[in-house]
Structure 1
Amino acid sequence: MKTYIRAIPQFDPARPVGAFDLAGGWAWFSQVEVLIRGQSPRIQAASEVDPEVLARISAPRGVVAGLDLSRPQIMGILNVTPDSFSDGGEFNAPDAAIARVHDMASQGATIIDIGGESTRPGASHVAIAEETARTAPVIAAVTAKSDVPISIDTRKAPVAREALAAGATLINDVSGFTWDGDLAPLAAEKDAPVCVMHAQGDPATMQDDPSYDDVLLDVYDFLEAQVSFLTGLGLRREQIMVDPGIGFGKTLEHNLALLQRLSLFHTLGCPILLGASRKRFIGTLSNTVDAQDRMPGSVAVALAGVTQGAQVLRVHDVAETAQALALWQAATKGIE
């Protein structure tokens, strides 16, 4: 049976001798949780873990797309679409999009994720030409005036190619590089950092009836396979972020299971991106119907992700997240 090792993150200033850094970041661990399908979890001393596995969990993640991942980073969301679930239609005009990028960067976003196709539950497919027309001109305009790194949120190789030519530095694929067979080779050809996300099904149908044998381990296995696929094409592991895909083909219970043990994904040796901002499960738990009213819950989930060592937080509410993160860091680590 396959064994999965999850570091148990700690933040207490009284760090014991022999504890290990978690992904070279702000947390440490001295114990791990051992997970095997069909068996109860057990706790084990980190020092007893296979040295190769331990090295992957503890090694610094370095710099990806200009981001220093030894500390949490904020990815601001910019949807240049008419129909995204939270901010559809607000920023699809180029001038509005450029102004929004400036605002988010000034509020604390260190990378901006620009998408031209809504991936909300039930969303329809957007043609390549239309998605390209929505994204490439905005990326070109932004990069002409700002040094903030840009991520292109797309499943399509032609869209990504034009976005990279316009100045994008990272490819963020919600399908985990399973939708367009040309996208992963393009990333390897351009030596572009990527984010590989897990999703069960297509946005049009993904929330119809999602099911898993074990959501945490099933998502881990998918991401492990895709990281292996991408490294086989020539991408370096340190260029690859992983995202468990909160809300993408998951029930409320699935989302919470992933958040509770998010640190498992450090075992892949890749940075973790968490994108839970304003998602439906936050509205369900907080009894908040309007997505734009889910900021407090979104910030709470973002901080929960940071306690599990997530390096990149993909959010709509940049200023609020940045303030909460600064206070969380001061309260747990002191002022640096």
Structure 2
Amino acid sequence: MAIVNRTPDSFYDQGATYAEDAAVRRAHQVIAEGARIVDIGGVKAGPGPVVDIAEEIDRVVPTISAIHQQFPDVLISVDTWRAPVAEAAIKAGAGLVNDTWAGYDPELLEVAGQHRVGYVCSHTGGVVPRTRPHRVHFDDVVEDVIAETVSLAEKAISCGCPEELVLIDPTHDFGKNTFHGLELLRRVDEIVATGWPVLMALSNKDFIGETLDRAVGQRVWGTLAATAWATAHGVAAFRSHEVAETVDTIRMICAISGQIPPLNTVRGLA
């Protein structure tokens, strides 16, 4: 899942794809690099200037429409917690709703179900959208994540979302600290064992930065290490800024485990 931010203040790219043409070019690039899903977001996840519903729609819908027209076979995801935005995005061509705020708007899941599109079930521990965690505590973060995401997944199916497009996301950094993020990876087998496909958004997150004491622009290697670990333990999808590097990491782990063959084998065979 490639990230395309229609925001001027993204923590990572600082508005590199805020302009419409830049966002579409980015979509072309990541699809060529191997992305199977393109995730379009119009509001920065963290604190920042208020973006109302109308402005969020104006940011994401033209991009979704353009990508859908040019790549009709690519699954487009809309990163939003608001039902009206999802409604407009789905009509423009989105086939997946990435609700990173765990059902904060209860009508969002209903919209996804009514339109028979996919839904990402997240975990935030009840945190309000666009706020940072503060002294959060879980008796068992993995149990809490499983309970909340599986409950949402079952609700998504009952609302009409296609089962093959319902994913659960432990949602690193959202309502969690670095120790929680590491434990989610350490015990990822338990999350995978739920039977729901697991999506992880690890890319350049703060828990990686704090673990390695690295600034935002220096977290790629930590991200890829976490991605390799999660791939080896059965995680199904990764939301990523560095698509080519992530695809290579996933492909290498899958080749080592025997799930896929090498792409080009000539050495010692001729």
TM-score (norm 1): 0.73
In structure 1, C-alpha distance between the alignment counterparts of 2:95 and 2:189, rounded to whole Å: 26
Amino acid across the alignment from 2:221: P
Q: Cα 1:130–1:280, aligned 2, differ >3 Å: closer, same or farther?
A: same
Q: Which residue of 1 aligns with 2:244?
A: 319
Runs of 4+ in structure 1 over 4 Å off: none
**1:174 to 2:70 alignment:** no
Alignment: residue pair count: 259
In structure 1, C-alpha distance between the alignment counterparts of 2:124 and 2:160, rounded to whole Å: 24
Please report how far the alpha carbon of residue 303 of structure 1 lies from its aligned counterpart in structure 2 after TM superposition. Answer: 1.1
Please report how far the alpha carbon of residue 308 of structure 1 lies from its aligned counterpart in structure 2 after TM superposition. Answer: 1.6
Q: Which residue of 2 aligns with 1:32?
A: none
Tell me, yes or no, if the aligned pair for 1:247 and 1:279 is still in contact at 8 Å.
Answer: yes
Q: Cα 1:124–1:255, aligned 2, differ >3 Å: closer, same or farther?
A: farther
Q: Cα 1:310–1:161, aligned 2, differ >3 Å: closer, same or farther?
A: same
In structure 2, C-alpha distance between the alignment counterparts of 1:237 and 1:166, rounded to whole Å: 22
Tell me, yes or no, if the aligned pair for 1:237 and 1:269 is still in contact at 8 Å.
Answer: no
Identical-pair percentage:
35
In structure 2, C-alpha distance between the alignment counterparts of 1:127 and 1:94, rounded to whole Å: 18
Amino acid across the alignment from 2:112: A
Q: Which residue of 2 aligns with 1:133?
A: 58
What SS is found at the alignment partner of 1:95?
helix
> Which residue among 65, 88, 102 is the counterpart of 2:28?
102
What SS is found at the alignment partner of 1:87?
coil
Please report how far the alpha carbon of residue 239 of structure 1 lies from its aligned counterpart in structure 2 after TM superposition. Answer: 3.0
Please report how far the alpha carbon of residue 187 of structure 1 lies from its aligned counterpart in structure 2 after TM superposition. Answer: 1.0
**1:144 to 2:80 alignment:** no
Please report how far the alpha carbon of residue 304 of structure 1 lies from its aligned counterpart in structure 2 after TM superposition. Answer: 1.1
Amino acid across the alignment from 2:14: G
Give the number of the structure with larger relative contact order, counting CA–CA contacts within 8 Å between residues 6 or more apart: 1
Q: Which residue of 1 aligns with 2:174?
A: 248
**1:83 to 2:4 alignment:** no
In structure 2, C-alpha distance between the alignment counterparts of 1:305 and 1:240, rounded to whole Å: 19
In structure 1, C-alpha distance between the alignment counterparts of 2:251 and 2:58, rounded to whole Å: 37
Amino acid across the alignment from 1:227: A
Amino acid across the alignment from 2:154: S
Largest Rg, 1 or 2: 1
Tell me, yes or no, if the aligned pair for 1:76 and 1:104 is still in contact at 8 Å.
Answer: yes
Amino acid across the alignment from 1:264: E
Q: Which residue of 2 aligns with 1:287?
A: 213
Q: Deviations over 1:169-215 (max 9, x none)?
A: 101101222x2121111111101111111113024433222111111
Please report how far the alpha carbon of residue 123 of structure 1 lies from its aligned counterpart in structure 2 after TM superposition. Answer: 4.1
Structure with greater proportional strand content: 1
In structure 1, C-alpha distance between the alignment counterparts of 2:210 and 2:135, rounded to whole Å: 17
**1:298 to 2:223 alignment:** yes
Tell me, yes or no, if the aligned pair for 1:237 and 1:270 is still in contact at 8 Å.
Answer: no
> Which residue among 191, 201, 223 is the counterpart of 1:265?
191
Amino acid across the alignment from 1:117: V
Please report how far the alpha carbon of residue 124 of structure 1 lies from its aligned counterpart in structure 2 after TM superposition. Answer: 5.0
In structure 1, C-alpha distance between the alignment counterparts of 2:77 and 2:17, rounded to whole Å: 16
Q: Which residue of 1 aligns with 2:143?
A: 217
Tell me, yes or no, if the aligned pair for 2:132 and 2:175 is still in contact at 8 Å.
Answer: yes
Q: Which residue of 2 aligns with 1:113?
A: 39
Which 5+ residue runs of structure 1 have no aligned equivalent? 1-74
Amino acid across the alignment from 1:283: G
Q: Which residue of 2 aligns with 1:11?
A: none
What SS is found at the alignment partner of 1:151?
strand
Q: Which residue of 1 aligns with 2:235?
A: 310
Q: Deviations over 1:43-88 (max 9, x none)?
A: xxxxxxxxxxxxxxxxxxxxxxxxxxxxxxxx10111101121113
RMSD value over aligned CA atoms? Answer: 1.6
Please report how far the alpha carbon of residue 236 of structure 1 lies from its aligned counterpart in structure 2 after TM superposition. Answer: 4.4
Please report how far the alpha carbon of residue 125 of structure 1 lies from its aligned counterpart in structure 2 after TM superposition. Answer: 4.4
Q: Cα 1:325–1:170, aligned 2, differ >3 Å: closer, same or farther?
A: same
Tell me, yes or no, if the aligned pair for 2:169 and 2:198 is still in contact at 8 Å.
Answer: yes
Please report how far the alpha carbon of residue 224 of structure 1 lies from its aligned counterpart in structure 2 after TM superposition. Answer: 2.2
Please report how far the alpha carbon of residue 233 of structure 1 lies from its aligned counterpart in structure 2 after TM superposition. Answer: 2.3
Q: Deviations over 1:211-246 (max 9, x none)?
A: 111111111111122223223323344331000111
Structure with greater proportional helix content: 2
In structure 1, C-alpha distance between the alignment counterparts of 2:57 and 2:16, rounded to whole Å: 18
Q: Cα 1:264–1:149, aligned 2, differ >3 Å: closer, same or farther?
A: same
Amino acid across the alignment from 2:63: V
Tell me, yes or no, if the aligned pair for 1:272 and 1:311 is still in contact at 8 Å.
Answer: yes
